[in-house]
Amino acid sequence: MDLILNLMDGVSMPAVSNAWIDVYEPATGAVLARLPDSDERDVELAYLAADRALAGWKAMGREGRSNVLLRLAQLIEDDLEAFAQLESKDNGKPLALARKVDIPRAVANFRFFATAILHFPSEAHVMDDVAVNWTDRQPIGVVGCISPWNLPLYLFTWKIAPALAAGNCVVAKPSEVTPCTAHRLSTLCARAGMPSGVLNIVHGLGPKVGAAITAHPGIPAISFTGGTRTGAEIARVAAPMFKKLSLELGGKNPVLVFDDCDMEEALSTTVRSSFTNQGQICLCGSRILVHERIYARFRDAFVSRVEQLRVGDPTSPDSDLGAVVSRDHMEKVLSYIDLARTEGGKVLCGGTRVQLEGALSGGWYIAPTVIEGLGPQCRTNQEEIFGPVVTLQSFTSDEEAIALANSTPYGLAAVIWTTDLKRSHRVARAINAGIVWVNCWMVRDLRTPFGGMKQSGVGREGGVDALRFFTEAKNICIKL
Ligand code: TXE
């Protein structure tokens, strides 16, 4: 069994409590590793190490820091296969997905922000002959990064890369459900030339470690991705301390399929946008809205494709879906399918746990599930399920489609399928979501603003937005 350790001031170590928490392998249900059950004492040690490292890290300058992050990216890339195997084992996702998406994107996050910082401009505002203002952007200091279990290394690096590039030192907390790849990353930092204390990783439970980072008076900025309820708790604690917050929360994303769409593309991509990573991506479309003229045709073709998806061993190239992340999560998703039935929904396919054989018999698998017959206001169509479950609804006009799309408390992402250029502009602008894809899904340019409206979050990550978040702007006005 593997032992996960904290990274404190450049040294791998257990928690002060010396207590441990079991980590499970979703594919089998067996214990995979143990992680430190850290608490506020470990957070304090991490903070002190980060604070000591600040001056040196800042003094390395943009180029020095950029070189360290580029070396770290290379070390992960050289070790891609081992990282991918570990991510798949820890999370339950298909190995092919970890190889193709999770780990390459973690590498890309480091490369992107290592170079973005070299091009990060300061603005100047000249007042004719009166004065010149220029915007100085300094690192904030010690910042907190708290990340979830669905894309473990990918979202962990999405936060720490811009934080470090901008010159901050970091106290980071990966999800206790999937800590393995963050631990592996911690073993590469020294080889990349990162000074001790610049990145500190404290493993453990959210209400202990995450809460201690949020409440720490020396940590003035928190970047968080996870559930909306946790985000609200973080905001409640951080607001009276006037902390800077970036909150990337849940979603209930609509997919709008108009009757002029390219049916083949809409079908194949909607299968992906519904079930990639077992539906556990905040960007997955979970409410599929289809024009009534093509509703029956779309529904039948969609269901027949979903029925062909194979749920199985995450290491097998034949598996389209692996296991969901934990027993608790499986039970939560199954309880939503029961709820959908009670609310009057008709399960068109899936709807049950999948029981595999042999070593995988204890694993947490759910058949991809499609439900129809539910109105927009029922809980199934309002609450984030975050699993392989989607619903189908029909609409008769653009206005109705937009109203349905906007009918939840969330506003993270939306997908529009249409070949009408004017409609694509009009509908995209009318939807209350931070990210809208037209005739595609998950096409990601790291320069673009990433985040949600309403209960999907506060602030934007990515590109210049992330670098602005992780720096403090100061206007310096000089009389001419
Ligand atoms: O998230 P949590 P969970 C959604 C999804 C899922 C639900 C719960 O609907 O079913 O959230 O998932 C840390 N103070 N998303 O329970 O609890 C925690 O340890 C500070 C959406 O995993 O929000 C972990 O590191 N931190 C999503 C991180 O917060 C706390 C991705 C996220 O955990 C804390 C994942 C506290 N009081 C889940 N409590 C997305 N939008 O991508 C927990 N944490």
Ligand 1 proximity of 330 Cβ (cutoff 6 Å): no
Ligand 1: distance of its center to the CA of 251 in Å? 13
pLDDT at 122 over 70: yes
pLDDT at 177 over 80: yes
Q: Which of 54, 210, 223 is nearest to 142 (CA)?
A: 54
Ligand 1: distance of its center to the CA of 244 in Å? 19
| Alpha carbon nearest to ligand 1 atom 12, residue | 227
Atom number in ligand 1 closest to CA 231: 23
Instruction: Report, as an integer, the average pLDDT of 120-141.
Output: 97
pLDDT value of position 2: 87
Q: Is residue 189 among the annotated active site residues?
A: no
Terminal Cα distance for the chain, rounded: 67
| Alpha carbon nearest to ligand 1 atom 26, residue | 210
Task: Supply φ then ψ for residue 476, to 5 degrees.
Answer: -110, 120
Atom number in ligand 1 closest to CA 332: 10
Ligand 1: distance of its center to the CA of 296 in Å? 37
Task: Supply φ then ψ for residue 24, to 5 degrees.
Answer: -105, 155
| Alpha carbon nearest to ligand 1 atom 8, residue | 227
25, 87, 176, 248: the active-site residue: 248
| Alpha carbon nearest to ligand 1 atom 19, residue | 206
Q: How far apart are CA 78 and CA 37, in angstroms?
A: 31
Ligand 1: distance of its center to the CA of 247 in Å? 11
- Reduce the DSSP state of residue 392 to 3 states and report it: strand
Residue % of the chain over a pLDDT of 70 = 100
Ligand 1 proximity of 372 Cβ (cutoff 6 Å): no
Instruction: Report, as an integer, the average pLDDT of 418-428.
Output: 98
Beta bridge pairs of residue 8: 11
pLDDT value of position 410: 98
CATH 3.30.70.20 fits 253-445, yes or no: no
Q: Is residue 44 among the annotated active site residues?
A: no
Mutate-to-test residue for ligand 1 from 230, 386, 458, highest number of ligand atoms within 8 A of CB: 230
Q: How far apart are CA 308 and CA 67, in angstroms?
A: 46
Ligand 1 proximity of 363 Cβ (cutoff 6 Å): no
The tens digit of pLDDT for each residue in 372-404 reads 999 999 999 999 999 999 999 999 999 999 999
* Pairing status of strand 244-248 against strand 457-458: antiparallel
The tens digit of pLDDT for each residue in 59-108 reads 999 999 999 999 999 999 999 999 999 999 999 999 999 999 999 999 99
Mutate-to-test residue for ligand 1 from 146, 229, 243, 412, highest number of ligand atoms within 8 A of CB: 146
Helix, strand, coil content of the chain in percent (nearest 5): 40, 25, 35
The chain-wide mean pLDDT, for the chain, equals: 98
Ligand 1: distance of its center to the CA of 225 in Å? 7
The tens digit of pLDDT for each residue in 138-166 reads 999 999 999 999 999 999 999 999 999 99
- Reduce the DSSP state of residue 407 to 3 states and report it: coil
Ligand 1 proximity of 335 Cβ (cutoff 6 Å): no
| Contact present, 26 and 363 (Cβ < 8 Å) | yes
pLDDT value of position 1: 62
Domain boundaries, the chain: 2-249+456-479, 253-445
| Contact present, 102 and 93 (Cβ < 8 Å) | yes
The tens digit of pLDDT for each residue in 220-274 reads 999 999 999 999 999 999 999 999 999 999 999 999 999 999 999 999 999 999 9
pLDDT value of position 243: 98
Atom number in ligand 1 closest to CA 248: 41
Number of CB atoms found within 10 A of residue 63's CB: 11
Within 92-241, where are the H helices?
Answer: 95-97, 103-116, 152-165, 180-186, 211-215, 228-238
Ligand 1 proximity of 385 Cβ (cutoff 6 Å): no
Ligand 1 proximity of 152 Cβ (cutoff 6 Å): no
Confidence grade of residue 55 (pLDDT, cut at 50, 70, 90): very high
282, 284, 384, 461: the active-site residue: 282
pLDDT value of position 460: 97
Ligand 1: distance of its center to the CA of 227 in Å? 4
**Model-wide pTM > 0.95:** yes
CATH 1.10.579.10 fits 2-249+456-479, yes or no: no
